[in-house]
Amino acid sequence: MNRFLLKCFSLTLFFLIWVLLLPPRDASAVIDGISGNTFNLVAKEGHISTPDGGSVLLWGYAIGNGRVQYPGPTMIINEGDTITVTLRNELMQPVSILFPGQEDVQADGGIEGLITREALPTDDPGTPQDESTVTYTFTATHPGTYMYHSATFPELQVEMGLVGAIIVRPAGFNPNAPRAYNHPGTSYDREYLFLLTEMDPRIHETVEKFGVDALQGTDYLSNYFPNYWFINGRCAPDTMAQAFAPWLPTQPYNCLPRMHPGEKLLMRVIGGGRDLHPYHHHGNNSYIIARNGRMLESSPGMGPNLGMSVFTIKTIPGETVDAIFEWTGKDLGWDIYGTGPGFEHDCVDGNNDGFDDNTHEYCADHGKPLPVILPENQVLSFGDFYSGSPYLGKKGVLPPGAGTLNVYGGFFYMWHSHNEREMTNYDIFPGGMMTMLIIEAPGVPIP
């Protein structure tokens, strides 16, 4: 592989450190978005940037008069609430919003469209109603993870960026003991969003240079061939940069899951594009608790008893998956906090769950040395996320420049599309649909 590109990747990743050093926020705010009952969205044009230096034409949803963004704002709402979403159109063609998974959505204003009411680019002053604005109203009857997207010329408009996520909190949601659904089997410590999409840059270039009508002379929409892949609207390594990074003004959301050993991480995964993606999460299996905002239970009250354990989440277009990921370090056969001088520590299991009550160390492996000798540094290549030590929370001696992106000695795990072609940014590896999970040592602050 080209060493120059590798260096570019590293430089971009350097900004990752900023994320890690940001002050902790409220735990329930890990998924960035807007909450409430009333949302004002405006469809407008802009550009996103890709790590290969590309700039891609975007049609997206903006919050009111704010900047257009990809994906659209994540709407975080509560079960039982009546939600009003007003869409104003500043694009050059009609646009709308579809709310898959929501029931009895009422639409007012705009004009009649094929699937729902649509907002026109301009209001006709000769009529009493405002054709450029549509108001959608629905009651969020079920908790879960959902998406929304344009229902107007969707094979083009969703590709252009008119897509976003909706999270419905269960009734009686307690941010200090969060649950995805109304059952203790869905409780979690942290939650992260994984909205997976892709783009075929040929389509965006054609629309930008020659207009929408020029697509009719191509087979780009039917013979779809994407070359950018996104998590929450960013291609790796930008996925790992801070949220609301000033250099990514139209791509506010990041995706950098972090957790401590023994915690439960809720993955909210959305197939937001048109391809399937096998989303592989290194580190451990996860347990799927829901699909499309419906808990996988055999009858009401059973909890997610029809779920299953997977190491790759099959992400299907238009489908959402909620899965609970845990990593405990159990049964590795060696002490992940190290042995010998400099690594002194106890393992105290007062509650008899097999793990230290504070550090969550697996006590049966306490004091067992690493079973192999690691080679000399001279014969190894080092990753930017390697701490220099095999032990959690520890740092070791690394060659100059290596391991610069591991601030706290955490264990990093790649979470990526296992269609490895999708780990590129238009012919450049690495990139695309990829990020890292960080298992941080106990005591390391996580926002």
Partner 1 sequence: MIRINRLFVLGVLLGILLTWVNPCVSEVFVQCPGDLNGDAIPDPYLPGGAPNPEYRANVKCMHLAAGDGYITMADGTPMYIFSFADLTGVPPDQAIEKGMLAATFPAPTIVADEGDEFYLTLTNVGMMVRPDLFDPHTVHWHGFPNAASIFDGVPDASVAINMGSSFTYYYKVVEPGTFMYHCHVEATEHMQMGMLGNLYVRPAQNKLPDGTNLNGFTHHTGYHYVYNDGDGSTYYDVEYPIQIGSFDPEFHIANETVQPLPFAYMKDKYPMLNGRGYPDTINPDPLPPPPANINRGVHSQNITSLIEANHGQKILLRISNLNVTRFYTLGTVGIAMKVVGKDSRLLKGQNGEKLYYDTFSVTLGGGESTDVILDTSQVSPGTYFLYTTNLNYLNNNNEEFGGMMTEIVVK
Whole-number Å distance between alpha carbons of 75 and 83: 10
Q: 35 or 377: whose CB is closer to partner 1? A: 377
Q: Judged by CB under 8 A, does residue 367 bind partner 1?
A: no
Neighbours of 236 (CB within 10 A): 27
Q: Judged by CB under 8 A, does residue 111 bind partner 1?
A: no
Cα three-residue angle 61-250-229, rounded to 5 degrees: 90
Which stretch of DSSP H or E encloses residue 163? strand 163-169
Closest approach, Cβ 60 to partner 1, in A, equals 24
Rg (CA), the chain: 23
How is residue 374 written in tokens?
């690691």
Q: Judged by CB under 8 A, does residue 413 bind partner 1?
A: yes
Question: Which residues in 321-340 contact partner 1 (CB under 8 A)?
Answer: 327-334, 336
Among 245, 370, 407, 444, binds partner 1 (CB under 8 A): 370
62: which strand partners?
42, 68
Contact 225, 205 (CB under 8 A): no
Whole-number Å distance between alpha carbons of 286 and 266: 9
Q: Which residues contact 209 (CB under 8 A, 6 or more apart)?
A: none
Q: 274 or 330: whose CB is closer to partner 1? A: 330
Contact 264, 324 (CB under 8 A): yes
Match 């909890």 to its residue by tokens.
303
Q: 319 or 420: whose CB is closer to partner 1? A: 420
Question: Which residues in 392-411 contact partner 1 (CB under 8 A)?
Answer: 411
Q: 34 or 330: whose CB is closer to partner 1? A: 330
Closest approach, Cβ 440 to partner 1, in A, equals 12
Q: Judged by CB under 8 A, does residue 95 bind partner 1?
A: no
Amino acid in position 383: G
Neighbours of 82 (CB within 10 A): 11
Considering only the stretches 54-62, 173-181, 246-254, 306-314, report the one whose residues sit in contact with partner 1 under the rule CB under 8 A. 306-314
Among 210, 298, 353, 443, binds partner 1 (CB under 8 A): 298
Q: Judged by CB under 8 A, does residue 421 bind partner 1?
A: yes
Q: Judged by CB under 8 A, does residue 424 bind partner 1?
A: yes
Q: 176 or 372: whose CB is closer to partner 1? A: 372
Burial zone of 13 (CB within 10 Å; 0-12 exposed, 13-18 middle, 19+ buried): buried
Q: Judged by CB under 8 A, does residue 122 bind partner 1?
A: no
Considering only the stretches 40-48, 74-82, 94-102, 277-285, report the one whose residues sit in contact with partner 1 under the rule CB under 8 A. 277-285
Q: Which residues contact 212 (CB under 8 A, 6 or more apart)?
A: 93, 156
How is residue 127 written in tokens?
């009529």
Q: Using CB under 8 A, count the residues that bind partner 1.
A: 67
Among 285, 292, 339, 404, binds partner 1 (CB under 8 A): 285
CA nearest to 7, candidates 401, 408, 285, 432:
401
Q: Judged by CB under 8 A, does residue 383 bind partner 1?
A: yes
Among 162, 207, 241, 436, binds partner 1 (CB under 8 A): 436
How is residue 110 written in tokens?
């705009």
Q: Judged by CB under 8 A, does residue 308 bind partner 1?
A: yes
Q: Judged by CB under 8 A, does residue 217 bind partner 1?
A: no
| DSSP-assigned letter for residue 428 | B
How many Cα atoms occupy the beta-carbon half-sphere of 142 within 13 Å? 16
Closest approach, Cβ 233 to partner 1, in A, equals 21
Q: Judged by CB under 8 A, does residue 206 bind partner 1?
A: no
How is residue 203 written in tokens?
């389509």
Among 307, 325, 361, 363, binds partner 1 (CB under 8 A): 307
Q: Judged by CB under 8 A, does residue 314 bind partner 1?
A: yes
Among 303, 355, 356, 361, binds partner 1 (CB under 8 A): 303
Question: CA torsion angle for 401, 21, 322, 158 (degrees, to 10)?
Answer: -80
Residues binding partner 1 (CB under 8 A): 1, 185, 227, 276-278, 280, 282-285, 287, 298, 302-312, 314, 327-334, 336, 370-376, 378-386, 390, 411-414, 418-421, 423-424, 426-430, 436
